[in-house]
Structure 1
Amino acid sequence: MSKKAAEQPSAKMTERFDCHHCQESLFGKKYILREESPYCVPCFEDLYASTCEECGKPIGCDCKDLSYKDRHWHEACFHCSQCKSSLVDKPFAAKEDQLLCTDCYSHEYSSKCQECMKTIMPGTRKMEYKGSSWHETCFVCHRCQQPIGTKSFIPKDNQNFCVPCYEKQYALQCVQCKKPITAGGVTYREQPWHRECFVCTACKQPLSGQRFTSREELAYCLNCFCNLYAKRCAGCTHPISGLGGTKYISFEERQWHKHCFNCTKCSLSLVGRGFLTERGDILCPDCSEDI
């Protein structure tokens, strides 16, 4: 909206020059042009003047109209809603339709830095983590005191550490590779390992999350342990693991899976039955009579 005082028409003009609204003559009076139509000052203020948010009175043509987000104030009314200091040509903040100077806004609404306990001023860069806030320059590693910024960090005991400092001070060292364990480690024989370092001694496949056993303090997956150390069934020649409650039959330094302990000739199960041996074979009583 443009408000300007137009030049007075020449006294020699014979045509009328009236207010567009009240039709009163504007000769010798101040007037305002709006969309190329002239208005006397009273009519213009009644029709188009903004209402001051603070005092509720019209903002006349002879007053400075200060506006913010379609709201208007007299220059004298444009002040902080709490301390009443003028906000003219000063930075301010808005909260719930109230205008506040930066000091009042900071006191009421700004967060406090977790490190220096000072107010974090509006517009200032800050770091936030689990409901706490820091000035960007205050968010530093507790050990080396270097700003963490956007780098990865690890919290411990209400203190924050950059990853290198945390590893030096707190991380366990993997028994296998001697490097720090920051996440996902496993414990075997009260010693720490990376999950990817805890592997079968024979086949090198990861043991984390699967059953395994050990021999002479070395860890093996079940397949490798059975193939390397388990006794073999005299019937099928496959390993007898003895793990998980596996049942087997032992006789004269030979072993059989329970389901393999059968008559060599007729394949009758000999578990719980009498049997005879003939040149290394095990036979049921009936088959032994035929020999």
Structure 2
Amino acid sequence: MEDYKVVLDGPAPWGFRLQGGKDFNMPLSISRLTPAGKAELTGVNVGDWLLQIDGESTTNMTHIEAQNKIRAAGNKLSLALSRFSLGLSNQPKVENIEKQDSRNASTKYGQDVMDFPPPPPPPPSTGPAVRPPWTTDASFAERYAPDKTTTVMTKHSQPATLTPVQNRSSILQAAQPAPSGEKTPICSQCNKVIRGRYLLALGRYYHPEEFTCSQCHKVVEEGGFFEEKGSIFCPRCYDVRFAPNCAKCKKKITGEIMHALKMTWHVQCFTCAFCKTPIRNRAFYMEDGQPYCEKDYEKMFGTKCRGCDFKIDAGDRFLEALGFSWHDTCFVCAICQCNLEGKTFYSKKDKPLCKTHAFSNV
């Protein structure tokens, strides 16, 4: 093994892709180089193992942590790598460092010689082993040489996403990571073995880039998806294809829905016929087939009780007498307050009187 260090001048892209990581139980290594890219021009090769990113050891980094570390680099990215060389011993080269500032390893690959920082101190003997597998396994370099192929059974993981709440007849779902202990998955779309991250949705496995909407064929993002008769739809396409029509404008309702009068409406379409304000979830009254908000209905069509001076609401029992409207409980004798509904009554100065007080002064 041959260790070396390179510094790439930014900004991104840096011209390489990674594979492996702690979550895949494999060392981080270079899987692909962009022809004439920044990494290739500095002497980086496919298969080289990544030891440090900007001075931080990659021993305990997962794949996504390494990616985030590289993305966080600004105008300069410093990498320490290790290259497998045929004909050399399978054991990595280890140098004794007596002082922290002396005998730093350096290698020249297409640029000036740069100091390679000393390796981190070994972990306590009582704790778990955290050294890279290629420093503890004598056959590791031979088994994972760049010119060899191998099938590795790995446990893949992917962050779970919350399922958005939607008011739909179908269920909006989110792709979930597969449970641990599963065998190597097969993509339901291309029928190929999946190596790397994958999705589990509707009981089937998918490459993330092949989990697409059946309508627009775009990759379904982490926001969720709809399933309708076995087909997968992104929220936008589902709204366009299956969303209800507005009772007023007859267009598809792709946002907030208003349910009223056994029909569906755009919120902006179900408004008061007088003030044109959206009614939303407030009370409304119908007059000649038109909805009115409570305030405008009372102003235009409201009726007040002559007895209590309060409005007569829809559903209230009332009667007409002496040219006025009365609640049934408010139509009483002005003297003794006995109820006069359905009885003979007299009036004086527009006030009802019972037979007993018909000639009393009011």
Q: TM-score range by the shorter chain?
A: 0.5 to 0.7
| Amino acid of the structure 1 residue aligned with 2:230 | N
1:142 CA drift (Å):
1.0
CA contact (8 A) 2:198 2:206 kept: yes
Tell me which of 339, 353, 362 is aligned to 1:270.
339
RMSD, aligned CA? 3.9
Residue 115 (str. 1) matches residue 189 (str. 2) = yes
CA contact (8 A) 1:226 1:241 kept: no
Q: How far apart are the structure 1 equivalents of 2:249 and 2:256?
A: 15
Which string of whole-angstrom CA distances, capped at 9 and with x for unpartnered residues, describes residues 20-54 of structure 1?
xxxxxxxxxxxxxxxxxxxxxxxxxxxxxxxxxxx
Q: How far apart are the structure 2 equivalents of 1:198 and 1:279?
A: 46
Partner of 1:186 in structure 2?
A: 258
CA contact (8 A) 2:333 2:340 kept: no
Task: Flag structure 1 segments of 5+ consecutive residues without an equivalent.
Answer: 1-61, 79-85, 97-107
Taking structure 1 as reference, are residues 269 and 112 closer, same or farther at Cα in structure 2, changes over 3 Å only?
A: farther
Identity of aligned residues (%): 23
Which string of whole-angstrom CA distances, capped at 9 and with x for unpartnered residues, describes residues 4-24 of structure 1?
xxxxxxxxxxxxxxxxxxxxx
Partner of 1:50 in structure 2?
A: none
Q: How far apart are the structure 1 equivalents of 2:144 and 2:323?
A: 101
Residue 135 (str. 1) matches residue 207 (str. 2) = yes
Which string of whole-angstrom CA distances, capped at 9 and with x for unpartnered residues, describes residues 121-153 of structure 1?
22xx54554654422332222123233446775
Report the secondary structure of 1:173's partner residue: coil
CA contact (8 A) 1:63 1:74 kept: no
1:173 CA drift (Å):
2.6
Partner of 1:216 in structure 2?
A: 288
1:171 CA drift (Å):
1.8
Tell me which of 209, 230, 246 is aligned to 1:174.
246
| Amino acid of the structure 2 residue aligned with 1:250 | E
Aligned residues: 206
1:71 CA drift (Å):
4.6
Q: How far apart are the structure 1 equivalents of 2:245 and 2:217?
A: 24
1:181 CA drift (Å):
1.8
1:256 CA drift (Å):
0.4
CA contact (8 A) 1:181 1:194 kept: yes
Which string of whole-angstrom CA distances, capped at 9 and with x for unpartnered residues, describes residues 162-220 of structure 1?
44433432222323455432354233344321345433333445544444332222223
Structure 1 or 2: larger strand share? 1
1:281 CA drift (Å):
2.5
Q: How far apart are the structure 1 equivalents of 2:154 and 2:306?
A: 87
CA contact (8 A) 2:153 2:184 kept: no
Task: Flag structure 2 segments of 5+ consecutive residues without an equivalent.
Answer: 1-87, 93-131, 156-181
Taking structure 1 as reference, are residues 137 and 72 closer, same or farther at Cα in structure 2, changes over 3 Å only?
A: closer
Q: How far apart are the structure 2 equivalents of 1:174 and 1:186?
A: 9
CA contact (8 A) 1:65 1:73 kept: yes
Residue 72 (str. 1) matches residue 141 (str. 2) = no
Which string of whole-angstrom CA distances, capped at 9 and with x for unpartnered residues, describes residues 45-99 of structure 1?
xxxxxxxxxxxxxxxxx984588276524479x6xxxxxxx54444654659xxx
1:276 CA drift (Å):
1.0
Q: How far apart are the structure 1 equivalents of 2:153 and 2:220?
A: 32
**Alignment TM-score, normalising by the size of structure 2:** 0.45
Report the secondary structure of 1:137's partner residue: helix
Q: How far apart are the structure 1 equivalents of 2:214 and 2:136?
A: 48
Structure whose alpha-carbon radius of gyration is higher = 1
**Alignment TM-score, normalising by the size of structure 1:** 0.54
Q: How far apart are the structure 2 equivalents of 1:75 and 1:250?
A: 100
Partner of 1:232 in structure 2?
A: 304
Partner of 1:280 in structure 2?
A: 350
